[in-house]
Amino acid sequence: MLRPYLHFLWVLLCVAGALAATAPRALSQPLVYYASAEARFDVGRYGGIYGAVSPGKTGLDVAEGDALEALRQDALARRELRFGLPSFLVQYIPAAERGHVLVRGVAPTAAEAQSLANAGAVELARQVRAAGGREILRNMLGWELWLSLDQREAAPGPFDLLLREIIRAQAFPMSRELEPFSTPREVSTLPLEERLDLARALESRYDLWRFAINTRNATLDALCTSASLPAREAALATCAKAIPQAAVELDVRDREIARLRAIDAALQYMLSTQGARFDVDAPGAAQRIPAALPTAPEPRRIPELIGLAVLFGLAFGIVGVAVDRSAHLMAKAEEIWRYRELIRNLVLRDLRARYKGSALGYLWTQLAPLGMMLVYVVVFSTLMPSGIAQFPVFIIVGLMPWNYAAESVMIGTRSVIDSAALIKKVYFPREVLPLVSVLSSLTNFALSLPMMFAVIILVQLTTMGRLNLAWSFAYLPVLIIIQTAMLAGVAMLLGAVAVFFRDVVHLMGIVVNIWFFLTPVIYPLSNFGDGLMVRLIRWLNPMASLIEFYRESLYGSAVAIGQIPTPGVPALSSLLRVSVMALVILVAGYWAFERTSGRFGEEI
């Protein structure tokens, strides 16, 4: 008679779970305004920008990326730390007609949205001109090389000397090696549009050197703790004598400063002498169509989202009831619950056995992940610099969930085999064994969480002087539940397979190592863009998405040194996809275990 009430309780839990996952994201949606500007450019002149420069990336993609980076660096210089957040950003949307790109500004106020859209359109038009100007500059630098080989060369002009300084300092790297160019290219003979393109190319390179120098300075300040010192350069020179990495960084930074000065001298000549100032709103080969001031914010549709969550919870609960009536899952859950004391004792046994004879005991739950984090931080900060801000936090929020997964899979694969004596002597639900392996790893993971939060707090206080915690930390239990469901399914599946094929136990050591490198634990998946390979990793490897969720909730998106990562809530669509995948894995693992568990006694 209790079964209908349990079914009703299950449906209520499904609805409550759907609301718990959806309501925080829906209710916390910021009020935003959208403003749309437009960047237009002459396809006849800049049509080559639509050509591919790398697999899956065109020259226009590169120009848009450079424009966003310039906007972000400008925002940081103004101490505007919101840029890039979902409520404060610039989006580039290709129009149906070539040579037209819609630029959307998203911001909490109408004026800010308009300002962002206009700034984004200006920067994209500038980057498109810069793409055309780079080829002009290549030819001019090639002409200077040609003149240097010609012994009949006349006295060089002012701009010729500036170009030769660019060549000498290697201040303008090219995608192809610079070669002599025999056709004369004098700046005074260039049409106005070409002079404008040339100046924009110099501006773009100037910005890139400025960004690089700022990053080097942030790295040096982190190595030498020199950010607030009055005699900072003298402190850096002293630090470079004691720290080899600081000496390398300082030498590279000084060379980049020399290159920036060479570019700046040529740019100032173009602006002051050649009249190459850019009026982005004037008709020309590349221009901006300004954005109008938005009159109303975007609708947040909170009731609709909450309603969809309730419907999804109801549908999922009803499907669960239907499955239970055919597969009797509730009866199995009740049976496992009756053996909860056995589960608790087995989990405690595993934990005691793990740390038996150890002087530090359970303290290793704190020290082991901390030691691994330090290894990765040293390797990727010294031998292979990553350039990621707050790198210890970036590593540990991905490493600890991964350790939980790897440990559960490895122990779960052996869970049935290692309990052969128990299986032959006593009756109990065999599903208990893989569940115990996951629960003991979960307990180990939970015990290590205080150390993870201590690292987060310590790193934030030492790098920013304040805490940057967000309410998205509350999503941690949701992520742990999803991961635990998935790992329980994997442990049951592999535990059952290992009974019949013992080679699986040895094979899993290799598979877990490969799985580690296919999961973004020590690198951000964004390093590989958003192409087909990245989408396949997210869809075929749910741990990749889960690690990204942990990182997004506890750390934020990976940003360069000198910037501040901001935690946020994972996208609901991605969270739903991974939740459904975890449940599919759980059901598949349980089905395989249930179908084969009756033969365990014969095979072990």
Q: What is the pLDDT of residues 216-234, one digit of tens each?
A: 888 888 788 776 667 888 8
Residues 255 and 155 in one domain: yes
* pLDDT at residue 568, as a whole number: 75
Task: Report CA 322 to chain centroid distance, whole Å.
Answer: 39
pLDDT in tens, 283-340: 888 999 999 999 998 888 888 888 888 888 888 778 777 766 666 666 677 777 777 7
Q: Where are the alpha helices (DSSP H) in 191-339?
A: 192-224, 232-242, 244-272, 302-327, 329-338
* pLDDT at residue 267, as a whole number: 93
* 547 in any annotated domain: yes
pLDDT band at 257 (very low <50, low <70, confident <90, very high): very high
Q: What is the mean pLDDT of residues 187-199?
A: 89
Q: What is the mean pLDDT of residues 106-112?
A: 92
Residues 320 and 275 in one domain: no
Residues 505 and 538 in one domain: yes
Q: What percent of the chain has pLDDT over 70?
A: 87
Q: What is the mean pLDDT of residues 87-100?
A: 89
Is the model's pLDDT at 474 over the cut of 60? yes
Structure tokens at 506: 């040895």
More confident residue, 149 or 358: 149
Q: What is the mean pLDDT of residues 439-453?
A: 85
Is the model's pLDDT at 259 over the cut of 80? yes
pLDDT in tens, 491-527: 999 988 888 888 888 888 888 888 988 888 888 877 6
More confident residue, 88 or 391: 88
Residues 158 and 183 in one domain: yes
Rounded distance between C-alpha atoms, residue 552 and residue 473, angstroms? 9
Q: Which of 464, 437, 453, 440 is nearest to 370 (CA)?
A: 453
Is the model's pLDDT at 29 over the cut of 80? no
* Nearby residues of 390 by Cβ (< 8 Å), 6 or more positions away: 459, 460, 463, 555, 565
Residues 41 and 142 in one domain: yes
More confident residue, 356 or 276: 276
| Least confident range of 372-376, 398-402, 568-572, 594-598 | 372-376
Is the model's pLDDT at 96 over the cut of 80? yes
Residues 279 and 311 in one domain: no
- Is 0.85 surpassed by the pTM of this model? no
3-class state of residue 431 by DSSP? coil
Tokens 């490895």 sit on residue: 410
| Least confident range of 58-62, 192-196, 376-380, 458-462 | 376-380
* 575 in any annotated domain: yes
Q: What is the mean pLDDT of residues 530-543?
A: 77
* pLDDT at residue 1, as a whole number: 44
Is the model's pLDDT at 258 over the cut of 90? yes
3-class state of residue 43 by DSSP? helix
Q: What is the mean pLDDT of residues 147-172?
A: 80
* 346 in any annotated domain: no
* pLDDT at residue 299, as a whole number: 86
* 49 in any annotated domain: yes
* pLDDT at residue 441, as a whole number: 86
Could you say which of 230, 264, 289 is where a domain stops? 289
Rounded distance between C-alpha atoms, residue 416 and residue 409, angstroms? 13
Domain containing 516 equals 358-603
More confident residue, 421 or 115: 115
* 21 in any annotated domain: yes
What DSSP string describes 198-240?
HHHHHHHHHHHHHHHHHHHHHHHHHHH--TT-TTHHHHHHHHH
405-418: burial string, b at 16+ Cβ within 10 Å, e else? bbbbbbbbbbbbbb
Rounded distance between C-alpha atoms, residue 463 and residue 477, angstroms? 27
Q: What is the mean pLDDT of residues 532-551?
A: 83
* pLDDT at residue 373, as a whole number: 67
Residues 531 and 438 in one domain: yes
Residues 118 and 208 in one domain: yes
* 295 in any annotated domain: no
Q: What percent of the chain has pLDDT over 90?
A: 17
Please give the span between the terminal C-alpha atoms of the chain, in angstroms, as a whole number. Answer: 39
3-class state of residue 178 by DSSP? coil
Count of domains observed in the chain: 3
* 352 in any annotated domain: no
* pLDDT at residue 504, as a whole number: 84
Residues 70 and 103 in one domain: yes
Task: Please list the helix, strand and coil fractions of the chain in percent, rounded to the nearest 5, in that order.
Answer: 70, 5, 25
Residues 378 and 471 in one domain: yes
| Least confident range of 145-159, 242-256, 551-565 | 145-159
Residues 387 and 528 in one domain: yes
* 396 in any annotated domain: yes
pLDDT band at 348 (very low <50, low <70, confident <90, very high): confident
- Radius of gyration over every alpha carbon of the chain, rounded to an integer in angstroms: 30
Q: Residue 389 in contact with residue 563, Cβ under 8 Å?
A: yes
Q: Which of 472, 355, 425 is nearest to 601 (CA)?
A: 425
Could you say which of 231, 261, 289 is where a domain stops? 289
* pLDDT at residue 304, as a whole number: 85
Tokens 């009026």 sit on residue: 279
What DSSP string describes 516-574?
HHTTTSSS-GGGGTTSHHHHHHHHH-HHHHHHHHHHHHHT-S--BTTS-----PPPHHH
Structure tokens at 81: 């730390």
Could you say which of 289, 316, 347 is where a domain stops? 289
Residues 380 and 313 in one domain: no
